[in-house]
Structure 1
Amino acid sequence: MSDPETLAVYAAKAEEYAAITGDHNKTDPILAAFIASLPPKAHVLDLGCGPGDSAAAMAAAGLRVHAVDAVPEMIALAARHKGVAAQLATFDQITGTDIYDGIWANYSLLHAARADLPDILSALHTALRANGRLHIAMKTGTDSARDRLGRKYTYVTEDELRGLLGAAGFTVTKKQTGRDKGLDGTYADWIALGADG
């Protein structure tokens, strides 16, 4: 994510965002299932970790967590969690081969430009070990737009997201959908896919 306006919104609202998402992450059944699908002491990348609540839950479950975000204020919050190694980085800075047993990309890649998604997902596939697990959640739709706070979103259809994952080498194994209220106070439809590397 390199959109300056989006980054500025998250920087200004880091504490507010943490307050909204913190309790949800403690009881999120999708996160619990992702954790349960990984081997003990698995090495996990939390991509776009925000304030680090998901990363903290993974660390508390005994996983080794590398949490990255492009917003310094979010990294400061994430680094406060025990067992979380937090690093300032953008999506295109994820490199390396066979590093992670799992990648948690929860409502983060929806801020990547549509044209960048193929390269980002390919790099994530390369960074994931054989038989590794990917979780990706995005808001659904067919366009790109800013919300009322100024954050830029790339909306995807289920078919588009499945196609992107398949082209990057992933095999989709799970699907969940829903509708929730976001930081901007509006409701949006979402899709979460689980995939094997």
Structure 2
Amino acid sequence: MYYAQATDQFNMVAHKLMIFFGIIMCIFGLIGNILNVCVFAIWSRSRKKINRYSSSHRTSNSSLYLLASSVANLIIISYPLLTRILLDGYQYRVTRTNVLILCKFRYYALHTFDLISLTCICMATYDRYLLSSRKVRLRQMSARRQRTKLSILFIIVLVGLHSIPLIIYYDVSNTGQCEIFPIEYSYYYLYVV
């Protein structure tokens, strides 16, 4: 009897904390990522060359990657985090009628935009490494602005295609939770991805 009451109290505290800290994370995350988008949008604009030795197209490539990463993070905070607050904080149950929005698309968006953000940060780091190298050959390997945009588009398409099985395999369990049902894909998702 005592353990059941303690478990109920623990669950109630966990739900209250999820609501409180989830909303705080959402507010500050949205503000921070909107500011990041503004800063990186300004930095990624084409600048006129100051002199003939400066190459302005190479100064803004990493800011394009970071802009794409910030937009992806903004999407992660605005959709998957808000639905997490709704599902876990307010104990809203997923049913067969809302499974597409609250289960399948939520995990697709979370997985896709999380990987896009991570990949763009890695590409920005790699671009900065190339530009700061002492070797001329490595500095010349840094992509031009148009190739950087194509690289970002390629990353978005590739990660979006890679995440399609999440829409197919996520479904609602008998307890109202979103779960991956084929056990083979859940192993792949948990250990490989």
Normalising by structure 1, report the TM-score. 0.23
Q: Which has the higher strand share?
A: 1
Q: Higher relative contact order at CA 8 Å, sep ≥6: structure 1 or structure 2? A: 2
Which of the pair has more CA radius of gyration? 2
Q: Which has the higher helix share?
A: 2
